[in-house]
Structure 1
């Protein structure tokens, strides 16, 4: 726990510094057309290094690798990544930085960590929400989840005031929110709304990430009148966990038929919502299966709710 907290806090400081100084910074477009930034690489390098030093027998299943960063035409980007990491590890070389990034794996074992160094890279680049998300999984069950959300307002009732939240959950021990400095720890609890008319929901900002039209149909069927809270990243799990939204819906987009969710995009958030009293399943009501590799091969879509309205929402999905 101590190592994971230290790692995610250092990574969040790096990400904040990059965004402040470079307004997000340069990015590389990956084969799947998603961007990867200086902050993605720096965050992954720091977290993989610290986790593997503390737990040498564990693997870290993470999103990035250094292949693109090592290319000659990206040498300036590698130089920048190395420079930011030197703020925390003076004297580190570019080769060491690449080796830390590559401590990650895309194969799983019975016990493994999963990391999204910046979940919501597009949000990070445009100045909106993003999260550094880390989880420990044993035998298919998430045991520990952490999310640093540097741009998320601390008090849901005062969204224009202090920002910077850290979410933490331990299986069987509850779910908590605190400041990025560890201060102001609060136990989280999902909303107690039991009438769908009074419910609110959250969804992705990007329309190609989910089928927003179907989301609106579901909302209309449930007679929900509040507009959706649009947010990037697993921050959406956090706002359900703290009762700000009643549920989070992710119906796969028609533009990506056959798309399978990635383990690092949901494992940290899932335990945070569940330990706050929420329920997390796919769109058929099946629990998320984190034992089948880096993709959730046995699941389709995501529904995260306060639990009370879960079956009602699943029923409404039968359209």
Structure 2
């Protein structure tokens, strides 16, 4: 008997691998005409649109009744013919066959679903676009949500080392609820296109003072002073590891750090489901814990919005209560000066 979600797992793994190949190709020859700015001034590239097209193409074929809540829409491509042509060109290059522009646009728009659904996929085609533009880390993140919980995740890090001590880059993390989490090579050369994967386990470190921690590289995304205060309150001796994208969740899941703090720098900022769903399941299935700042589990019932109060604490479980206590202490402390 085939394991639960095996068909979805195979499709998700193949989809993020294909999208990652496109992203690698684009990142290797970035030029100004391959990027644009969204209305909120955040960057978007040909890779964002192309990766969403490829993932949604596969999901629409394999699971036509499932909505996809993706970060991008094709609105910009409808009014920017040059951008549309480049996206179509990159998708054709990645797949090895030509496509009509209307097909590619329709695949991107398949990922524009919004609103509650008992089952849906959520996709961030290039999470960490600023890192992507710098030639640094980024992620392709896909998760399947059922009844407000992530049940399957595929998270690719095309620039992340395959293992903490490895030099070769390119890894895909896969998790299925109740079945654990594994790490796979981004590129597989055997005939079946599969590998067994390496089981992920969080660190066993249970001394908060010795905890290693990470946060966003971009100060505009993260209240870094607050996170530093939490680290001091926990008695953590070392400084943070900073990097772009959802791969911070992966660092916790494979035991490179014990703690990830996500506290938005902008008051009232609402997190999106595509920025967290895959990473949350990855940590949970590796033996860790993820909550909001009040200690409540994250919920994905109202896409595109993540239901979380104040921010996110992700840990190896052993340090979680100490982190939540430190968050409360810092939150209640009178402002300095």
TM-score normalised by structure 1 residue count: 0.95
Query: Which of 85, 92, 100 lines up with 2:99 in the alignment?
Result: 92
In the other structure, the counterpart of 1:248 is: 260
Give me the whole-angstrom Cα distance separating, in 2, the residues matched to 1:109 and 1:192.
37
Query: Which of 293, 309, 316 lines up with 1:299 in the alignment?
Result: 309
In the other structure, the counterpart of 2:191 is: none
Decide whether the 8 Å contact of 2:153 with 2:278 is kept in 1.
yes
**Alignment CA distance shift 1:317-1:302 (3 Å):** same
Query: Which of 49, 63, 67 lines up with 1:41 in the alignment?
Result: 49
Shift of 1:225: 2.0
Decide whether the 8 Å contact of 1:24 with 1:127 is kept in 2.
no
Decide whether the 8 Å contact of 1:190 with 1:277 is kept in 2.
yes
Give me the whole-angstrom Cα distance separating, in 1, the residues matched to 2:21 and 2:74.
21
Give me the whole-angstrom Cα distance separating, in 2, the residues matched to 1:299 and 1:114.
20
Decide whether the 8 Å contact of 1:18 with 1:24 is kept in 2.
no
Shift of 1:144: 0.2
Decide whether the 8 Å contact of 1:25 with 1:125 is kept in 2.
no
Give CA deviations for 1:27-55 in whole Å, capped at 9, x if unaligned. 22112221110000000001011101111
Shift of 1:89: 5.2
Give secondary structure in 1 for the equivalent of 2:248.
helix
Give me the whole-angstrom Cα distance separating, in 2, the residues matched to 1:23 and 1:307.
43
Shift of 1:23: 6.0
Decide whether the 8 Å contact of 1:61 with 1:108 is kept in 2.
no
Decide whether the 8 Å contact of 1:289 with 1:299 is kept in 2.
no
Give secondary structure in 2 for the equivalent of 1:286.
coil
Moved more, 97-106 or 143-152: 97-106
In the other structure, the counterpart of 2:335 is: none
**Deviation >6 Å, runs of 4+:** none
Shift of 1:108: 3.1
TM-score normalised by structure 2 residue count: 0.90
Give CA deviations for 1:71-119 in whole Å, capped at 9, x if unaligned. 1xx3222111111111205120112111110012122310000000011
Give CA deviations for 1:248-268 in whole Å, capped at 9, x if unaligned. 001121xx2211110000001
Decide whether the 8 Å contact of 1:24 with 1:126 is kept in 2.
no
Unaligned runs of 5+ in 2: 1-8, 189-194, 331-337
Give me the whole-angstrom Cα distance separating, in 1, the residues matched to 2:19 and 2:324.
37
Give secondary structure in 2 for the equivalent of 1:128.
coil
Shift of 1:293: 2.5
Unaligned runs of 5+ in 1: none
For this pair of structures, how many residues does the alignment match? 313
